[in-house]
Amino acid sequence: MNENINWAALPFGYYPTDFNVRCTFRDGKWGDIEVSQSDTLNIHMAATCLHYGQEIFEGLKAFRGKDGKIRIFRMDENARRIRRSAEGLMMEPIPEKLFKMMCVMAVKLNNRFVPPYESGASLYIRPLEIGLSPRIGVKPASEYMFVVMVTPVGPYFKQGFGVSNYCITRAHDRVAPKGTGQFKCGGNYAAAMRAGEEAHGKGYSAVLFLDPLEKKYLDECGPANFFAVKDGKYITPASDSILPSITNMSLMTLCEDLGIPVERRHILVEELADCSEAAAIGTAAVASPIGNIDDLDTGKTYVMSHDGKPGPITTMLYDKLNAIRYGLEEDVHGWNFILDEDRIEP
Ligand SMILES: *Cc1c(COP(=O)(O)O)cnc(C)c1O
């Protein structure tokens, strides 16, 4: 373990580690896995990732449990999702086994950066794929690089699990109606940056986007999925422009286990008036509870927390998912990959 790091104070940022792993697709096949100590890439200045946005990524976490074991949460799902993203952007799909092997290698090689259980911190795993071939005409690359880097990150809630405010705006869309919303690509983030920064400037955590076609239904919540509690039910938007969050998928399963009804459907903006809890969901936070949602165009405020605290269902789901990730609660669905027990070579 690395003694000198104040794990609990680490931001969600880049902290250098010892190694990253890389693999290149060239001449129609993936090559050998390369272990690198460099945190830079040397690529052609005309590479498609730089000019035409052929870049996709993933985000998952490894946790050191109270029992000392290191667990990677739902890696199979990330392997599947990055393959769908590759297909969506005409990039070379990464074989799922290669994806998982490289994630496991990156964690093992950087074992000393997997934070101690007591810190509440974790090791964030960031796999990414880029198009390498030089192109000036718009055309998919024929060469690709897949990199897995890791970095330790502190607990998301530094001042305790609490609420923050969001806004609705019709001034910007994150993605187009039949665009790339369901793929995890850098381009979606570039497209949403102006909206996000404007919201931050007004004191909001993020924008709760509306569906880009009709602007009637709730969509993605900044760089996260969204759920609300209405009449004791967990409701979450169904939309082609939303990235299928693995955290959301997991919370829906936990709801079923707990007997909480789940509805995945179009949700009208006005329904927020009848909701008693809401949160943004993703790997970084699990669930980030929402206080108020201000509709900047109509001037309406939807109050998701009347006492300024996270609601009971949000809190229960947050605690339960974290307990599973840290190995405190039985992993009945087999979501954790345990290092050295669930072997993926080498
Ligand atoms: C990564 C991401 C999420 C959350 O997905 P998880 O698998 O739960 O981490 C949600 N929305 C967007 C746009 C994302 O990129």
The model's pLDDT over 250-267, given as tens digits with 9 standing for 90+, comes to 999 999 999 999 999 999
The tokens describing 284, both together, are: 């970084």
pTM above 0.85, yes or no: yes
Q: What mean pLDDT, rounded, does the chain reach?
A: 97
For CATH 3.20.10.10, list the domain ranges present in the chain. 164-325
Residues 6+ apart with CB under 8 A from 147: 20, 21, 22, 41, 127, 128, 129, 130
CATH tag for 164-325 (out of 3.30.420.40, 3.40.50.300, 2.60.40.10, 3.20.10.10): 3.20.10.10
Q: How far is the CA of 58 from the centre of ligand 1 (A)?
A: 8
Percent of the chain past pLDDT 90, that is, above it, reads: 96
Instruction: Give the mean pLDDT of 101-107.
Output: 98
Q: In which residue ranges of the chain is CATH 3.30.470.10 found? A: 7-154
Chain centroid to CA 105: 21
pLDDT in tens, 157-215: 998 999 999 999 999 999 999 999 999 999 999 999 999 999 999 999 999 999 999 99
CA angle 85, 91, 97 (to 5 degrees): 70
The answer for residues whose C-beta is within 8 angstroms of residue 53's C-beta and 6 or more apart is 89, 185, 186, 187, 190
DSSP, res 94: P
Ligand 1: which atom is nearest the Cα of residue 221? 11
Rounded CA-CA distance 280/222 in Å is 8
346 falls in which pLDDT band (50, 70, 90)?
low
Tokens representing 65? 């449990």
Pocket of ligand 1, candidates 184, 220, 221, 322: which has the most ligand atoms within 8 Å of its Cβ, to mutate? 184
What is the 87 CA–ligand 1 centroid distance (Å)?
Answer: 18
Residue 305 identity (one-letter amino acid):
S
* Residues of the chain above pLDDT 70, percent: 99
Rounded Cα gap, residues 75 and 107, in angstroms: 12
User: Closest ligand 1 atom, CA of 248?
Assistant: 8
Pocket test for ligand 1, best of 225, 242, 250 (most atoms within 8 A of CB): 225
Q: Give residue 343's pLDDT band: very low, low, confident or very high (50, 70, 90).
A: confident
- CATH level 3 topology of 7-154: D-amino Acid Aminotransferase; Chain A, domain 1 (3.30.470)
| Protein residue whose Cα sits closest to atom 11 of ligand 1 | 224
pLDDT, residue 344, reads 86
Structure tokens at 11: 């931001």
The answer, yes or no, to whether any atom of ligand 1 lies below 6 A from the CB of 207, is no
CA–CA distance, 269 with 167 (Å, rounded to integer) = 12
Both structure tokens of 306 = 């009347």
